[in-house]
């Protein structure tokens, strides 16, 4: 057994296949031509329990090992990726290239090409390498992951990975039909609907000319449908840069939004971004220190610069200072304050540097703005070692006395990547330069833009606003509110613009001044405010408060800054934020640090994600019906029924001996198999009447194996031909598609070998997945081709949408040791995460066969026994033993094959006692019971009394759903595409009576979708057409 330990270690460390055993599990196949599956309706129907017709999804996890890495955690939810692993060779080799770790994406079934973009190391010893996802040779917008590697061998991968739909092709990626120039023209024409487009940007003191337009070809992949698009950055005026996504083939505008970072969205006036450049002024000389009172009446030190007897509000005293400039060069590394003199950036902007003749500063607004800039600079420098807002010692520039387009007072403040623009207030605010947290908020947008670069739309945009609020309350850290020093209480009754401790902030609903959602269920799902960036930030703000109030602001700010600068990408969402904050905290405190539980609880309480990622599968209750075993009698080759004592209790169930192992429904009413004449047959049992009968299921195609789902709704079958397809028939849809088997890798166009054929198969509890084994071949141009067997999970059906799935594949082991194969997998009867399977080791001349148990949830693998032939394991109904084949020899001569029962330990994957004989001259035992049970949560068809309707249909943007309810009930509205992917979900506590719920749909491509309405344990399904 020493060698087995080596083999298991190799399995778990995943050495790549170098040479594999030949045809170890199954007999040769004979090619007979292209199959034409035409499964006929079963002649003798059987009844399926109602509670087993609609089953939730179970996603099998890959055993948590991948090559040289032990996978500690792996989640892929929608587009959010989080993987944590341990390099098992750490200390024995140098830290591997970051691209080597991308193979870990296979653990969540992802395979996509990536290109390295940047790499950096930090003071904690971590290396952070960013990768850009590609598709058809173009970068995927938003597809970005960061590989984090510690010196101790810990690896984390976080980011966004876009997965194309199965039917997606690359025919539209041969090149753009629309030129960049045409797309830019289209962008400027479209943006004119929302803001003024100036023929020429006017010169502004302190701001150089800018490039008003740029265009980059990218792949836009919303809802899994890839399009080649032009990503535009256009600047229609000084108020703001806009992002546009224009279809490169049709010219359609797919999405657009402004990047303006204003204090309050409800009062904004198209304020946004201008270029990241330093202002140009006359050279100055002589740093000075003066003083002046700010808007709060507090005397502040004012750092200035003197030239020819005039004092300029230019602070050249900070560590970032580089040069004060010359007649032709701009100052670098200064804090600079301008007076806009009640002018507007788009119309004759008349800004001048604030000056004094005697180094006494009498303009409180200028003093406040200058002070704000210096406090923000020192906060980021002293707390995080950051060199100014942009991280590169860039100037911090402020403008006071800025007015709106109509020359009225501006009731807002905004940041433009380089400069702060302060209005003097009007209806809702006092002069905004008085708010240190306001300035901290706006300038923090510069930190965000120059680190994660979070897109200013939807959840990433809400996170952008939230981080700005977070740093705002940390710069002005005496409370948890934003804007308390500048709001007018006649508008904001609570006395603050936003409250991180209480996001509702004195309001009751969306639209009340200052109100924000406190929980994900309250989030805004419309299109206003760039998808609610100023609204939904309240959810993540509340999470930060819950964390920081328990672990302290000093600890929380370090964790959040690291999450922002090291772990997040521009398309990150709320789930990514949770993952990033947890990873950052673990970097400081370790995986069991005191902050981890607090962070998990905080995000749980605001409805973002769940502790530990995906929901863990749970056991189902044991089938309590009468127990029997179906066996193959080796003397005549026929199927017989036996009791659990190993005694045959029936005549031959059929006169047609099986070619393949039989398969049964969970309630024991239907058995199917392929007979030796390659005909698919079935045996139907009526246990109440004590009767059974057999018949042909299909004789139109030569078959070699067939299995039935536990609920009896689906059959999976293999043709006699040697091909790499599994055919799945659904009795309700009456469709019979073929699923091609491949060996997925993480690199586009690269596979670990061609799949030749599958053999053993079994449905999981839900009927959505098949576990199978298959033979693959590695071509060797310089030697002998290598064949091997391995185990995969194939997604064949999506119950939620009642459609066939996309056929994604996950492998039990992505890498096997040399001369090793695995096969003959089987699920336990009561634990959907437990399997048994076989391993063949051909290191020596005589192959060694092992029976193994595996826990898909924990990744644990254990040896059950060593056998002298293939076991073909099958669990008992109590999961306390396995039925296995074993060969009996007398005087070293093979005598017969017997069935043995092997006791299992309580973990169901380890040996629990001595094996004993179950039946002589028998094989392929299948243990079952005749009871009906709930394999998963019961979901019944929605009763007609609910009068479910959805309209209009076809729908464009807003869907109305009507129901009739007897009492107040929580209703879940779930939207799916035809690939079974959940697109949106709304949960509402509905009042009794006839209700009508308005659902604002997310941006969707035209096509067919499925609305699933869950109420009181019942579900209603409505198919929708989106125009």
Catalytic residues: 442, 534
969, containing H or E segment? strand 969-977
State residue 808 phi and psi, 5-degree precision: -65, 150
Nearest to 229 by CA among 217, 241, 240: 217
Are 563 and 584 within 8 A, CB to CB?
Answer: yes
Nearest to 217 by CA among 280, 289, 134: 134
Q: Is beta strand 481-482 parallel, antiparallel or unpaired with respect to 982-990?
A: unpaired
The span from the first CA to the last CA of the chain, in angstroms, equals: 64
Alpha-carbon distance values, 936 to 765, 830, 880, 970, 980 (Å) = 8, 11, 21, 21, 18
H helices of 67-226, in order, are 180-191
Nearest to 119 by CA among 110, 111, 109, 127: 127
Q: Running DSSP on this structure, what letter comes out for residue 1024? A: E
- Beta-carbon contacts of residue 501 (< 8 Å; ≥ 6 apart): 480, 481, 542, 545, 549
Residue 849: CA atoms inside 13 Å, Cβ hemisphere, count?
17
Nearest to 125 by CA among 101, 146, 105, 152: 152
Alpha-carbon distance values, 688 to 45, 668, 669, 930, 931 (Å) = 16, 12, 11, 10, 11
Nearest to 256 by CA among 197, 211, 193, 196: 193
Are 483 and 263 within 8 A, CB to CB?
Answer: yes
Cα angle 463, 989, 511 (rounded to 5 degrees) comes to: 50
Q: How far apart are CA 482 and CA 487, in angstroms?
A: 9
CB atoms within 10 A of CB 30: 10
Q: How far apart are CA 409 and CA 340, in angstroms?
A: 12
> Can you tell me which residue has the tokens 């019979």?
736
Nearest to 492 by CA among 259, 263, 262: 263
| DSSP E strand boundaries for 764-843 | 769-778, 786-795, 797-798, 803-804, 809-811, 820-827, 834-841
Burial 246-260 (b: 16+ CB within 10 A, else e): bbbbeeebbbbbbbb
Q: How far apart are CA 411 and CA 429, in angstroms?
A: 6
- Chain centroid to CA 924: 41
Nearest to 278 by CA among 422, 420, 419, 373: 419
Relative orientation angle of helices 574-589 and 553-562, to the nearest 10 degrees: 120
What are 165's two structure tokens? 């739909």
Q: Dihedral through CA 431, CA 437, CA 442, CA 447, nearest 10?
A: 160
Region label for 280, one of left (φ > 0), alpha (ψ between -120 and 50) or beta (otherwise): beta
């Amino acid at each position: 057994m020493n060698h087995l330990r080596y083999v298991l270690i190799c399995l778990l460390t995943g050495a790549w296949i170098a040479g594999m055993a030949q045809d170890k599990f199954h007999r040769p196949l004979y090619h007979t031509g292209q199959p034409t599956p035409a499964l006929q309706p079963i002649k003798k129907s059987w009844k399926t329990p109602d509670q087993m017709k609609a089953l939730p999804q179970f996603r099998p996890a890959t055993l948590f090992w991948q090559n040289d890495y032990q996978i500690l955690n792996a989640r892929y939810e929608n587009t959010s990726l989080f993987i944590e692993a341990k390099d098992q060779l750490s200390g024995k080799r140098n830290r591997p290239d970051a691209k080597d770790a991308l193979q870990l994406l296979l653990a969540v079934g992802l395979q996509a090409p990536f290109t390295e973009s940047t790499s950096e190391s930090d003071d904690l010893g971590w290396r952070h390498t960013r990768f850009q996802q590609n598709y058809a040779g173009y970068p995927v917008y938003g597809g970005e992951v960061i590989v984090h590697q510690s010196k101790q061998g810990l690896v984390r991968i976080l980011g966004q990975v876009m997965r194309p739909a199965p039917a997606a092709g690359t025919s539209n990626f041969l090149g753009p039909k629309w030129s960049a120039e045409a797309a830019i023209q289209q962008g400027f024409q479209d943006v004119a609907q929302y803001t003024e487009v100036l023929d020429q940007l006017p010169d502004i003191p302190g701001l150089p000319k800018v490039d008003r337009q740029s265009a980059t070809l990218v792949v836009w992949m919303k809802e899994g449908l890839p399009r080649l698009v032009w990503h535009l950055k256009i600047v229609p005026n000084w108020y703001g840069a806009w992002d546009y996504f224009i279809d490169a083939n049709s010219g359609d505008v797919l999405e657009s939004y402004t990047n303006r970072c204003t204090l309050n969205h409800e009062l904004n006036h198209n304020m946004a971004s201008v270029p990241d450049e330093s202002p140009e002024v006359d050279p100055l000389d002589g740093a000075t220190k003066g003083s002046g009172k700010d808007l709060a009446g507090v005397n502040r030190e004012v750092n200035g610069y003197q030239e020819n007897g005039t004092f300029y509000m230019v602070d050249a005293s900070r560590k970032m200072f580089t040069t004060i400039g010359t007649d032709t060069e701009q100052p670098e590394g200064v804090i600079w304050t301008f007076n806009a003199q009640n002018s507007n950036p788009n119309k004759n902007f008349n800004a001048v540097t604030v000056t004094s003749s005697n180094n006494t500063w009498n303009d409180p607004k200028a003093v406040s703005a200058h002070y704000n800039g210096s406090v923000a600079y020192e906060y980021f420098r002293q707390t995080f070692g950051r060199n100014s807002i942009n991280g590169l010692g860039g100037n911090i520039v402020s403008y006071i006395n800025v007015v709106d387009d109509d020359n009225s007072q501006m009731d807002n403040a905004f940041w433009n990547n380089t400069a702060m623009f302060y209005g003097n207030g009007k209806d809702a605010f006092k002069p905004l330069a008085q708010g240190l947290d306001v300035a901290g908020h706006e300038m923090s947008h510069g930190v965000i833009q120059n680190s994660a670069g979070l897109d200013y739309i939807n959840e990433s945009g809400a996170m952008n606003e939230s981080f700005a609020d977070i740093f705002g309350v940390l710069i002005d850290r005496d409370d948890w509110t934003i804007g308390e020093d500048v709001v007018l209480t006649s508008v904001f009754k609570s006395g603050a613009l936003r409250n991180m401790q209480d996001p509702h902030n004195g309001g009751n609903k969306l639209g009340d001044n200052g109100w924000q959602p406190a929980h994900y269920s309250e989030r805004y799902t419309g299109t206003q405010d760039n998808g609610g960036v100023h609204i939904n930030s309240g959810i993540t703000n509340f999470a930060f408060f819950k964390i920081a109030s328990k672990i302290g602001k000093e600890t929380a700010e370090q964790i959040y800054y690291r999450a922002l600068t090291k772990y997040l990408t521009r398309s990150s969402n709320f789930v990514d934020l949770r993952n990033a904050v947890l990873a950052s905290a673990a970097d400081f405190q370790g995986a069991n640090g005191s902050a981890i539980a607090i962070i998990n609880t905080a995000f749980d309480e605001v409805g973002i994600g769940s502790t530990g990622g995906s929901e863990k599968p749970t056991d189902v209750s044991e089938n309590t019906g009468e127990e029997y075993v179906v066996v193959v009698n080796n003397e005549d080759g026929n199927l017989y029924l036996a009791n659990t004592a190993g005694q045959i209790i029936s005549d031959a169930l059929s006169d047609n001996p099986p070619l393949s192992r039989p398969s049964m429904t969970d309630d024991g009413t239907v058995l199917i198999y392929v007979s030796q004449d390659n005909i698919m047959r079935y045996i139907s049992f009526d246990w109440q009447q004590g009767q059974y009968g057999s018949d042909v299921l299909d004789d139109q195609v030569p078959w070699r194996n067939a299995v039935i789902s536990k609920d009896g709704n689906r059959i999976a079958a293999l043709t006699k031909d040697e091909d790499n397809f599994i055919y799945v028939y659904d009795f309700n849809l009456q469709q019979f598609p073929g699923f091609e088997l491949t060996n997925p890798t993480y690199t586009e166009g690269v596979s670990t070998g061609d799949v030749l054929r599958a053999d053993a198969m079994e449905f999981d509890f839900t009927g959505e997945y098949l576990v199978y084994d298959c033979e693959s071949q590695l071509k060797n141009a310089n030697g002998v081709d290598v064949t091997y067997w391995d185990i995969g999970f194939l997604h064949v059906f999506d119950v939620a949408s009642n459609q066939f799935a996309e056929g994604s594949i996950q492998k039990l082991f992505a890498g096997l040791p040399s001369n090793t194969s695995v096969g003959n997998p089987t699920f336990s009867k009561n634990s959907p995460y437990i399997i048994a399977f076989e391993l063949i080791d051909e290191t020596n001349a005589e192959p060694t066969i092992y029976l193994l148990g595996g826990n898909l949830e924990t990744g644990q693998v254990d040896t059950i026994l060593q056998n002298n032939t293939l076991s073909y394991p099958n669990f008992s109904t109590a999961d306390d033993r396995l039925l296995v084949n074993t060969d009996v020899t007398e005087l070293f001569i093979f005598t017969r094959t017997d069935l043995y029962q092997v006791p299992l330990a309580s973990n169901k994957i380890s040996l629990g006692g001595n094996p004993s004989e179950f039946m002589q001259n028998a094989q392929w035992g299948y243990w079952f019971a005749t009871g009906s049970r709930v394999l998963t949560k019961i979901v019944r068809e929605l009763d007609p009394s609910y009068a479910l309707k959805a309209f209009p249909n076809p729908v464009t943007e807003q869907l109305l759903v009507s129901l009739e309810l007897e009492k107040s009930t929580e209703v879940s509205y779930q939207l799916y595409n035809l690939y079974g992917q959940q697109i949106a979900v709304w949960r509402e506590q509905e009042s009794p009576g006839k209700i009508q719920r308005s659902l604002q749909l997310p941006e969707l491509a035209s096509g067919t979708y499925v609305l699933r309405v869950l109420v009181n344990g019942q579900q209603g399904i409505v198919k929708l057409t989106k125009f």
